[in-house]
Amino acid sequence: METRKLQLTGGSSLAVTLPKKWADHFGLKDKDTVIIYSQKSGSLIVQPSRLKEQLLKTVLKIDRITNDMLTRELIAHYISGSDEVVITSQKITQDKRNTIRKVSQSLIGYEIIAESLKEILIKNIFDAEKFPIIQTVEKMFAIAKSMFDDAIEALTQNNKTLASDVIDRDFEINKLQLAVTRQFYALIRGRVYDEEVGLNQADLSYYENVATQLERIADHATKIAHAAVNDDKKSGSSVSPRLKNIAKKILPLLEYSEEMVLKLDKNLAHKVLDKNPSIERTISLDRDAKSLKEMIAIDSLDRLRGYVMNIAEITIDQSVTKQEKWNYGEAK
């Protein structure tokens, strides 16, 4: 860390010199331009203007990796902010091409631009500055709520068509969660800044955390839907009234959590957390399931309860953080 004194220039402007070592590192010279970002935290970020236009290009070699490893690696490149990914191999098999296409379709902004025997080029066409984080989280709430409602309906009514539709919706919520996470990493790595996305790092960290909880909630709705699709005589076909009783108490929590997040309402968050002990008792008393599918549903509803409580806790944390005031310039 360095400290530097401000200098009055031109009678009204304040100036500060830049560290020579930093300027030399980026090859800056007289008359070059830099971009200055004013952060909500009170800090200023100075960046050479040409860096703003630079693309993050990476190479992914896939000769010795499995399809599962390829999936994880490509998602990691996406989250880390790669603008171009060149996938190379001595020969890219059709199986791996199919995997690459499937993964690319699950990543908002990634498009396959060119293919050859040994290479596939993926480029990002996603404009991070225009990505609406809060609206995306709101959409994720809507999808997660509909998935859980329909999953319980499919299970209790033995509706395999509805269950299959719930499973299909999981793909969409996964896409949104990964896009929010990519945006979060872009902010903490300096690829985008507060004033461009309208959120500071603490704000975006909060919404990224909420999005992660929602993606996990959707996973458990999908788990219930799979149980409904795979239901047969061996696993039992009946659903007891206790499952409906548990669902009736837990599913409204998603409504409350959406309201507390969008309004950043810590009072509502406290109310939700205060409901937790009684809901836990209900689940504990009704744990004895008649069938495997009912056991899966009760466990997934309990997981939903836990994730909503996580959202309530981080909402209180975020609300308190937003209320804190920075009193710059007041110290004497």
Mean pLDDT is lowest, of 45-49, 93-97, 167-171, 207-211, for 45-49
Cβ(217)–Cβ(286) below 8 Å: no
Tens digit of each residue's pLDDT (9 = 90 or more) over 224-262: 999 999 876 554 456 677 788 889 889 999 999 999 999
CA distance 112 to 119: 11
- pLDDT of 220 reads 97
- Ranked by mean pLDDT, the top range of 120-134, 260-274, 314-328 is 260-274
Q: What is the pLDDT of residues 60-109, one digit of tens each?
A: 999 999 999 999 999 999 999 999 999 999 999 999 999 999 999 999 99
pLDDT over 50 at 330, yes or no:
no
Range with the lowest mean pLDDT among 33-47, 55-69, 309-323?
33-47
CB 282 within 8 A of CB 298: no
pLDDT at 6: 86
- The predicted model scores a pTM of 0.84
- Residues sharing a CB contact under 8 Å with residue 261, sequence separation 6 or more, in sequence order: 137, 141, 210, 311, 315
What gap in Å lies between CA 239 and CA 20, rounded to an integer?
72
**189 pLDDT above the threshold of 90:** no
Residue 98 makes CB contacts below 8 A (sequence gap 6+) with: none
pLDDT for res 262: 96
DSSP characters over 145-177: HHHHHHHHHHHHHT-HHHHHHHHHHHHHHHHHH
**Per-residue pLDDT at 129:** 64
Residue 325 pLDDT more than 80? no
What CATH number belongs to 57-127? 3.30.110.150
What's the confidence (pLDDT) of residue 231?
A: 77
What confidence category does residue 9 fall into, taking pLDDT thresholds of 50, 70 and 90? confident
State both tokens at 131. 């990505």
pLDDT score, position 329: 44
Position 68 scores a pLDDT of: 97
Q: What integer pLDDT is reported at residue 48 of this predicted model?
A: 75
Structural domain spans, the chain: 7-53, 57-127, 129-323
C-alpha to C-alpha distance for 55 and 191, rounded to whole angstroms: 10
d(C-alpha 207, C-alpha 128), whole Å: 15
Residue 332 has pLDDT above 50, yes or no: no
pLDDT band at 149 (very low <50, low <70, confident <90, very high): very high
Check residue 1 and give its pLDDT.
73
Distance CA 308, CA 53 (A): 40
CATH of 129-323, one of 3.40.50.2000, 2.60.260.20, 1.20.58.220, 1.10.472.10: 1.20.58.220
pLDDT bucket at 303, cuts 50 / 70 / 90: very high
Q: What is the mean pLDDT of residues 28-41?
A: 76
Say if strands 13-15 and 7-9 run parallel, antiparallel, or are unpaired: antiparallel
For residues 125 and 300, give the distance between their C-alpha atoms in angstroms, rounded to a whole number.
36
Backbone angles phi, psi at 45, to 5 degrees: -115, 130
Which has more pLDDT, 37 or 256?
256
> What is the CATH T-level fold of the domain 7-53, as seen in this structure?
Pemi-like Protein 1; Chain: D (2.10.260)
Whole-number pLDDT of residue 8: 82
pLDDT at residue 109, as a whole number = 93
Q: State residue 323's pLDDT score.
A: 80
What pLDDT band is residue 29 in, cutting at 50, 70 and 90? Answer: confident
- Spatial distance between the Cα atoms of 6 and 13, rounded to a whole number of angstroms: 10
Query: Mean pLDDT over all residues of the chain?
Result: 88
For range 256-281, the mean pLDDT: 95
Q: Give the pLDDT band of residue 331 (cuts 50, 70, 90).
A: very low
Q: For residue 286, how many other CB atoms are within 10 A of its CB?
A: 17
β-pair partners for 15: 7
Give the model's pLDDT for residue 237: 55
